């Protein structure tokens, strides 16, 4: 049975979004990236955006009830049964429990949790050079993965931006929040034997090859 219900876990900047896009493309799985969803909501000044904006700019997590409701709405029964890739959710044990409940109500369960890991210095280097496209959500890195034309998205030519929460103070907070609230998730999933530990150092294709090896056919 191919692995079809996947979650990516790892510290901010480790490369979850970058790998999720490759997995999605090559394994034909829809991605649900809660960070992208929330940034779009903030840009659109929607109700969700106004609830989330202050937490995000401080590098804190949006409250569980807010994000659980959004994911429950977006994760429709087709995706639950045919497969999905979650990037950035769950980030706390209560979020993981909510996801389990939704899946088990449909008679389903997660197939795998990809736990991406790299040394703090690698993660900080990656965050420090990150550029994103506010339109199509493509992600670049100033030196490791620069756009073809400086400052412009390869896909849609939109001017690239630096994320507000990629400033040093918010990054410090996000790394702290990861250790406190998200890392315990791995214990929660390890007890079920579905965690695949992925060394996220090296270039993008090297990391992807490790993921493919872990997932198998
Ligand atoms: P996350 O989703 O975990 O926060 P991203 O996928 O946005 O991380 O990656 C963070 C930054 O690191 C981006 O600038 C991205 O281009 C860069 N990056 C991702 N994977 C690698 C890699 N294997 N080597 C070098 N840079 C990478
Ligand atoms: P990301 O793009 O995944 O780094 O997420 C950016 C920010 O969005 C986080 O620092 C949080 O403020 C918020 N966020 C994204 N996903 C979640 C989640 N599952 N739970 C709470 N907050 C989230």
| Domain contains 201 | yes
pLDDT at 217: 66
CA 204 to ligand 1: nearest atom: 23
174 lines ligand 2 (CB under 6 A): yes
108 in a structural domain: yes
Q: What is the pTM of this model?
A: 0.96
The reply to whether 106 falls in a domain is: yes
pLDDT digits (tens, 9 = 90+) for 55-67: 999 999 999 999 9
Would you state the pLDDT for residue 80? 86
| CA 46 to centroid of ligand 2, rounded, Å | 17
Q: What ligand 2 atom has the least distance to the C-alpha of 60?
A: 12
Shortest-distance Cα residue to atom 10 of ligand 1: 13
Give the structural domain span for 86: 5-210
Q: Supply the pLDDT for residue 67.
A: 97
Among the bound ligands, the one closest to the CA of 17: 1
Q: Write the pLDDT tens digit of every residue in 65-112.
A: 999 999 999 998 788 889 999 999 999 999 999 999 999 999 999 999
**Nearest atom in ligand 2 to 177's CA:** 10
pLDDT at 79: 83
Number of domains the chain contains: 1
Please name which ligand lies nearest the alpha carbon of 14.
1
State the pLDDT confidence band at 16, using cuts at 50, 70 and 90: very high
Write out the DSSP string of 95-136: HHHHHHHHHHHTT----EEEEEE--HHHHHHHHHTEEE-TTT
Residue 201 has pLDDT above 80, yes or no: yes
Residue 36 belongs to a domain = yes
Whether the pLDDT of residue 2 is over 90: the answer is: no
Expressed in angstroms and rounded, the spacing between residue 104 Cα and the centre of ligand 1 is: 32
Cβ burial 137-173 (10 Å sphere, 16+ → b, else e):
bbbbbeeebebeeeeebeeeeeebeebebbeeebbee
- Residues 29, 85: contact at Cβ < 8 Å? yes
- State pLDDT tens for residues 183-199: 999 999 999 999 999 99
- Residue 62 domain flag: yes
| CATH number (domain holding residue 26) | 3.40.50.300
- Domain assignment present for residue 215? The answer is no
């Amino acid at each position: 049975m191919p692995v079809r219900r996947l979650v990516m876990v790892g510290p901010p900047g480790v490369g979850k979004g970058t790998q999720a896009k490759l997995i999605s493309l090559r394994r034909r799985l829809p991605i649900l990236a809660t960070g992208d969803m929330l940034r779009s909501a903030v840009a659109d000044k929607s109700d969700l955006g106004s609830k989330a904006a202050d937490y995000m700019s401080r590098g804190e997590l949006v409250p569980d009830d807010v994000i659980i409701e959004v994911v429950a709405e977006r994760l429709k029964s087709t995706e639950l049964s045919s497969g999905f890739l979650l990037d950035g959710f769950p980030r706390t044990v209560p979020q993981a429990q909510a996801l389990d409940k939704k899946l088990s109500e449909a008679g389903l369960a997660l197939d795998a949790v990809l736990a991406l890991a790299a040394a703090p210095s690698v993660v900080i280097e990656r965050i420090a050079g990150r550029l994103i496209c506010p339109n199509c959500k493509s992600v670049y890195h100033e030196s490791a993965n620069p756009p073809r034309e400086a400052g412009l998205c390869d896909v849609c030519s939109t001017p690239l931006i630096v994320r507000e929460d990629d400033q040093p103070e918010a990054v410090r907070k996000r790394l702290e929040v990861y250790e406190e609230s998200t890392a315990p998730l791995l214990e929660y999933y390890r007890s079920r034997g579905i965690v695949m530990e992925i060394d996220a150092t090296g270039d993008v294709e090297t990391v992807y090859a490790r993921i493919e090896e872990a997932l198998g056919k």
